[in-house]
Amino acid sequence: MDSPKSEFDSPHIDEQVPTASQDSPQEQGRDWTGLLWSGVLIVLVVLGSWSWFGQVRYDPPLYGDDAETRAALADLRRIESDVELSMTVDSKSRWILGDGFGVPEEDGTWIAAVRSNLLFELDGDASSIELFFYPLLAPSLPERPITVTTSEGIFQFLLTGGGQWVSGDLSPGASHEVIIKCDTIDSPLDLGLGPDQRKLCAKLLAVRVNS
């Protein structure tokens, strides 16, 4: 005679444990989305660190490269002779600043590269150009050599502190490029002057083109 069955006599069935291959499409989609956002976050953190420590700016281009824009830019770079032109944030003359310059500030614009240039147009001929610099100096860097190259030659100067005018000859003509070269660019942080990590050479405060 069979004995009555109890609940302990029933066969033991293991509960099925979900695996990755058994996830629903919605759950798999959420997993991929999470991984994607994690990757984006890592990239942003890396770029943010690079920007913070290297003072990299992520600004959109100020202008395009079409003929109409180039013509407009050439018009903005047309300047007067025998007038002192400030290189400040609110000055129209700031458009003559080319590569190698930082963002214009209230009192001038820093040179932030070993090589920088000025591009400008004149209505008539000019004999020379004068540049008013304020160099970044420190006890460990008491003077800063710079080289100014114009259509008439190469001119070398030693900036020793405070505001200092330098000049170079210009050849006849309406279009001009003036190249400024620094031996080094240094950060105030590295020179023990403060927390600013930007690599700088000298601040250009004013420009004067003589007829």
Question: Is the residue at 35 inside a domain?
Answer: yes
Are residue 49 and residue 79 in the same domain, yes or no?
no
Tokens of 157: 């100067």
Question: Is the residue at 80 inside a domain?
Answer: yes
Question: Is the residue at 94 inside a domain?
Answer: yes
Among the listed residues 169, 82, 64, 149, the one whose alpha carbon sits nearest the alpha carbon of residue 122: 82
Quote the number of domains for the chain: 2
Are residue 92 and residue 29 in the same domain, yes or no?
no
Beta bridge partners of 72: none
CA angle 173, 134, 159 (to 5 degrees): 85
**Residue recorded with tokens 């020793």:** 160
Are residue 94 and residue 35 in the same domain, yes or no?
no
**Residue recorded with tokens 């444990």:** 17
pLDDT of 104 > 80? The answer is: yes
DSSP for residue 111: B
Question: Is the residue at 85 inside a domain?
Answer: yes
Are 79 and 120 a contacting pair, CB within 8 Å?
A: yes
Are residue 79 and residue 163 in the same domain, yes or no?
yes
pLDDT at 170: 95
Predicted confidence band of residue 190 (pLDDT cuts 50, 70, 90): very high
pLDDT of 178 > 80? The answer is: yes
The domain boundary residue, chosen from 54, 76, 95 = 54
Are residue 128 and residue 197 in the same domain, yes or no?
yes
pLDDT tens-digit map of 70-96: 677 777 899 999 999 999 999 999 999
- Average of per-residue pLDDT across 15-35: 50
Among the listed residues 193, 50, 174, 76, the one whose alpha carbon sits nearest the alpha carbon of residue 135: 193
3-state secondary structure 117-148: EEEEECCCCCCEEEEEEEECCECCECCEEEEE
Are residue 149 and residue 46 in the same domain, yes or no?
no
pLDDT at 32: 60
Predicted confidence band of residue 18 (pLDDT cuts 50, 70, 90): very low
Are residue 107 and residue 31 in the same domain, yes or no?
no
Share of the chain above pLDDT 70, in %: 66
Are 146 and 168 a contacting pair, CB within 8 Å?
A: no
Tokens of 76: 């903005």
For the question of whether the overall pTM of this predicted structure is more than 0.85, the answer is no
* Mean pLDDT score of the chain: 79
189: domain range? 67-210
pLDDT tens-digit map of 26-85: 555 555 655 555 554 554 444 443 333 344 333 334 445 567 666 777 778 999 999 999
Are residue 31 and residue 73 in the same domain, yes or no?
no
- Average of per-residue pLDDT across 161-186: 94
Question: Is the residue at 5 inside a domain?
Answer: no
Question: Is the residue at 61 inside a domain?
Answer: no
Are residue 78 and residue 166 in the same domain, yes or no?
yes
Tell me the Ramachandran region of residue 204: left when phi exceeds 0, alpha when psi lies from -120 to 50, beta otherwise: beta
Are residue 103 and residue 203 in the same domain, yes or no?
yes
Predicted confidence band of residue 165 (pLDDT cuts 50, 70, 90): very high
Are 131 and 207 a contacting pair, CB within 8 Å?
A: yes
Question: Is the residue at 119 inside a domain?
Answer: yes
Q: Please write down the long-range contacts of 107-110, taking CB distance under 8 Å and 24 or more positions apart.
A: 107/203, 107/205, 108/134, 108/203, 108/204, 108/205, 108/206, 109/203, 109/204, 110/136, 110/198, 110/200, 110/201, 110/202, 110/203, 110/204
**Residue recorded with tokens 């008013």:** 132
Are residue 46 and residue 108 in the same domain, yes or no?
no
CATH code of the domain covering residue 200: 2.60.120.260
Q: Which residues, in sequence order, are CB contacts of 175 under 8 Å at separation 6+?
A: 120, 121, 122
pLDDT of 114 > 70? The answer is: yes
